[in-house]
């Protein structure tokens, strides 16, 4: 028995708890838990270009390679693509809206390399969806 308390320790305080911690404070409370981590930013759904959402400015354009088979078949025309541009201005996803089977993949491969300036909404970069037209002209 130390300090008049069975199970007490040297240096404990009168009225302490058996097996308590040296330096503990009578009537003290545990420190508050740490604050919760900040909430993760919500995933912003891509906004469609138009109305109050302006199209991103294209800062790097890669021209498509005219497919050899399309040249031999004398195929020309346009490929319309739906393009998702992420917050950094990189092309994240491409989908053919209208085109030609001999031209579509070449258009997709080129557009995936394009780079845009980020689109801002209320000063914050946001992902956008835009429509892009790629022209294949044999006379060029």
94-135 pLDDT, tens digit each:
999 999 999 999 999 999 999 999 888 877 888 999 999 999
**For residue range 45-92, what is the model confidence (pLDDT) as tens digits?**
776 766 666 667 899 999 999 999 999 999 999 999 999 999 999 999
H helix runs in the chain, sequence order: 68-72, 104-111
The DSSP bridge pattern shows strands 77-85 and 91-98 to be antiparallel
- CATH for the 47-136 domain, from 3.30.2420.10, 3.40.50.170, 3.50.7.10, 3.40.50.150: 3.30.2420.10
- Taking the CA of residue 117 as centre, how many other CA atoms within 13 Å lie in the half-sphere pointing to its CB? 8
Sorted by where each begins, the domain ranges of the chain are 1-35, 47-136
CB distance 79 to 134 below 8 Å: yes
């Amino acid at each position: 028995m130390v300090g008049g308390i069975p199970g007490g320790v040297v240096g404990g305080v009168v009225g302490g708890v058996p097996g308590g911690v040296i330096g503990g404070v009578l009537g003290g409370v545990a420190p508050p838990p740490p604050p919760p981590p900040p909430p993760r930013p919500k995933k912003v759904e891509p906004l469609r270009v138009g109305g109050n959402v302006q199209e991103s400015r294209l800062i790097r354009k890669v021209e498509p390679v005219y497919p050899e088979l399309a040249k031999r078949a004398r195929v020309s025309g346009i490929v319309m693509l739906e393009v998702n541009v992420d917050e950094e201005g990189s092309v994240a996803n491409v989908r053919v809206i209208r085109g030609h089977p001999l031209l579509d993949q070449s258009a997709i491969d080129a557009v995936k390399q394009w780079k845009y300036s980020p689109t801002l909404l209320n000063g914050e970069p946001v992902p956008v969806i835009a429509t892009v037209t790629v022209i294949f002209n044999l006379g060029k």
